[in-house]
Amino acid sequence: MNATRSLSYSKKRSTVIASTVFLIPVFFFIAIFIIYPIIDSFWLSLHTWNGISSFKTFSGLDNWKMLLSDTTFYKSFSNNLIIVILSIAIQLPIAMAIAFLLDTGGKKLNILKMIYFLPMLMSSVAVGFLFKYIYDPQFGLISAISTMFGGEGMVDLLGNPKYAIYAVIAVICWQFIPFYMVYFLAALSSLPIEIYEASIIDGATHGQYFWRVALPSMQGAIKSAAILSLVGSLKYFDLIYVMTQGGPSGATELMATYMYKNAFQMMKMGYGATIASGMFIVITVISLFTLKIINGKQEA
Amino acid sequence: MKKKRITFGKIIASVLAIIWLVIAGAPFYFMAASAFKEQFEIFTSGVFAAPKGLFLTNFQKVIESNFYKYVLNSTFVVLVSLILILTTALCAAYPFSRFKFKLNKPLFGIVVAAMAVPIHVTLIPLFQLTQKLNLYDSIFALIGPYTAFNLPISVFILTSFMAAIPKELEEAAEIDGCGKYRTFFNIIVPLSKPGLATLAIYNSVNMWNEFSFALVLTQSPKSRTLPLSIWEYQGQYSSNIPMIMAVLTLCALPMIIAFAIGQDKLIKGMMAGAVKG
């Protein structure tokens, strides 16, 4: 009796020691490069600092008061929301349609699948530059197409505060639809083939199979895709920074670009840290909220 | 035994297929075709025209400049970080998937939560930290953040991969007298290879394309990575579109080659990040 207990004790102890050894490296990285910066960011947000001098002035909640009355921050947050909504509304249906097309087409459409995937192979920065030139009013693709259809050319979508954000969203969709396409394709092909055969034998058309059988059974995949898109859109930075730098006159400003400009271009590190912390709070709250809604519904 | 009938649905499907083919392909055509043009050919012959000949001077100019330096920097950062990520994730996934101890769930919870942290919250503090450590504006500044930010999802994926390895193998090893460490190195690590391969692809693609940290933590061309090279060339050749397109084509080339060699593996690797957090 005593022996087994001490054996289980020493077993437990060796498990704890082994776990500690194996887990030290990962928590070393997480502590230094993720947890410490978050805390430091909040701490910095209570200071005024230009990033160069070794002297930081403690300014209490001044930065936070400024953030709460900063219309540019609200504007950038609402731009983030527009991207969230339009990304989900445009990307997911198109991706789903293409995925269904590829799924019913089978192997012979493999070449299409390859070409459809191409946009995913470029970095956001390269995509941004490419489309900056495609949108170029003088020698870009869009202007050329407009002249082809009898327009006068010189279409400047990125320079127009009214259209700039939609022009950028179109690029975001171009880049990420392939991702959701593959995601849905995997979900579609994991549906049991028997269900497909049964519905076809029962006289259903492909369309009926899609609407009545496939789509309802893909709810889980669609929800996950929406969450991925939501979280991604709230953090958006690279592509916008390359294409418009938040311009023209703040029309495409996002939380991340606004933070970058304040901290690293205007050297207002304290306020930059405040925007970053605000962004962290906003993203965390929205993600938790969405997860709660979606998971709550699943249980019901 | 399908009947060949042209239905309404089929027409819509084909139209959709063609439209998307044009949308997905046209920008690539624009990029690749322009790269082979002379600077003013774009104006004279229009953007849609195929290049008049194989004009390679653009590529030659880019390659003869310090383009190789950016490629070397990117390769170095990706390789070193990748080794760190994979070894650290292997170590972490083992206790998370195999051991029963009190803190298992809470610690794993921290890793999962770290997956959701937006990198922009950490930019300013990490900018400061690299300056304090005298790493600012060197490629070594990127290794820590790259490793840390790709770790949580790697640990997450690898943990579920290891959890699927049959327990019996481990028990057999234990009965044969293997300790935890030997079991890890002789049984778990070799069996985790397919998971590691997927992770290697996923992380490499991510880091190869990473922009924000590279923008903030490096400054001079000697220590910048490939995504930022485009910036330098744009400053130099802002009005020479074919030149910029040649740079973009060269930047996309490694990925396109990788895609041509193993498209299924690459797609699977790139989709590895699509997990529910």
Q: What is the DSSP string of B170-221?
A: HHHHHHTT--HHHHIIIIIHHHTHHHHHHHHHHHHHHHHT--HHHHHH--SG
Of B168-172, B192-196, B207-211, least confident by mean pLDDT is B168-172
ipTM: 0.87
Write down the mean pLDDT value for chain B: 86
The sign of the dihedral angle between the CA atoms of B230, B235, B241, B242 is negative
Look up residue A171 and give its amino acid.
Answer: V
CB-based burial label for B72 (10 Å; 0-12, 13-18, 19+): middle
State residue B5's pLDDT score: 58
Chain A 141-200, residues with CB within 8 Å of chain B CB atoms: 141, 144, 174, 178-179, 182-183, 186
In whole angstroms, what is the distance from residue A262 CA to residue A267 CA?
Answer: 6
Query: Would you call B5 an interface residue with chain A, using a CB distance cutoff of 8 Å?
Result: no
Domain ranges of chain B: 8-60, 65-273
Would you say A240 and A255 are in contact if contact means Cβ atoms under 8 Å apart? no
Chain B 198-217, residues with CB within 8 Å of chain A CB atoms: 208-209, 211-212, 215-216
Pick the more confident residue, B110 or A147. B110
Q: Which of B211, B245, B276 sits opposite A124 (nearest CB)?
A: B211
Query: Would you call B265 an interface residue with chain A, using a CB distance cutoff of 8 Å?
Result: no
State residue B4's pLDDT score: 52
Of A1-5, B66-70, B137-141, B150-154, least confident by mean pLDDT is A1-5
Domain ranges of chain A: 62-299
Q: Which of A37, A134, A186 sits opposite B126 (nearest CB)?
A: A37
Which of B40, B74, B96, B121 to mutate: most A Cβ within 10 Å? Answer: B121
Ranked by mean pLDDT, the top range of A7-21, A51-65, B194-208 is B194-208
Query: Would you call B2 an interface residue with chain A, using a CB distance cutoff of 8 Å?
Result: no
Query: Would you call B153 an interface residue with chain A, using a CB distance cutoff of 8 Å?
Result: no
Which of A29, A113, A177 to mutate: most B Cβ within 10 Å? Answer: A29
Q: Which of A234, A264, A287 sits opposite B216 (nearest CB)?
A: A264
SS3 per residue for B63-86: HHCCHHHHHHHHHHHHHHHHHHHH
CA dihedral B162, B164, B165, B167 (to 10 degrees): 110
Would you say A252 and A119 are in contact if contact means Cβ atoms under 8 Å apart? no
Q: Hey, are the CB atoms on A126 and B17 less than 8 Å from each other?
A: no
Query: Would you call A265 an interface residue with chain B, using a CB distance cutoff of 8 Å?
Result: no
Pick the more confident residue, B238 or A103. A103
Q: Hey, are the CB atoms on B271 and A134 less than 8 Å from each other?
A: no
Looking at the structure, give the CATH architecture of the domain made up of residues A62-299: Orthogonal Bundle (1.10)
Q: How many CB pairs under 8 A join A and B?
A: 243
Residue A143 tokens, joined: 């202007």
State residue A160's pLDDT score: 85
Contacts of A120 in chain B (CB under 8 A): 270
Would you say B47 and B29 are in contact if contact means Cβ atoms under 8 Å apart? no
Checking if the pLDDT of A3 tops 60, the result is: no
Query: Would you call A97 an interface residue with chain B, using a CB distance cutoff of 8 Å?
Result: yes
Residues A159-213 have pLDDT tens digits of 888 889 999 999 999 999 999 999 998 888 888 888 888 888 888 887 888 888 8
If you measure CA to CA, which chain B residue comes closest to A285?
A: B116
B65-273 belongs to CATH 3.30.470.20: no
Contacts of A256 in chain B (CB under 8 A): 118, 120
Identify which of B91, B92, B122 has the alpha carbon closest to the alpha carbon of residue B107: B92
Would you say A176 and A91 are in contact if contact means Cβ atoms under 8 Å apart? yes
Query: Would you call A228 an interface residue with chain B, using a CB distance cutoff of 8 Å?
Result: yes
Query: Would you call A117 an interface residue with chain B, using a CB distance cutoff of 8 Å?
Result: yes
| Residue B277: band (very low, low, confident or very high) from pLDDT cuts 50, 70, 90 | very low
Residues B25-84 have pLDDT tens digits of 888 888 888 888 887 777 666 667 777 777 788 888 888 888 889 999 999 999 999 999
Query: Would you call A118 an interface residue with chain B, using a CB distance cutoff of 8 Å?
Result: yes
CA dihedral B77, B79, B81, B87 (to 10 degrees): -170
Q: Which of A22, A104, A234 sits opposite B91 (nearest CB)?
A: A22
Q: How far is CA B129 from CA A260, A277, B126, B133, in A?
A: 17, 17, 5, 6
Would you say A214 and A207 are in contact if contact means Cβ atoms under 8 Å apart? no
Q: Hey, are the CB atoms on A280 and B110 less than 8 Å from each other?
A: no
Q: Strand pairing partners for A58?
A: A47
In sequence order, what E strands does chain A have? 47-48, 57-58
Would you say how long chain B is, in residues?
277
In whole angstroms, what is the distance from residue A271 CA to residue A59 CA?
Answer: 11
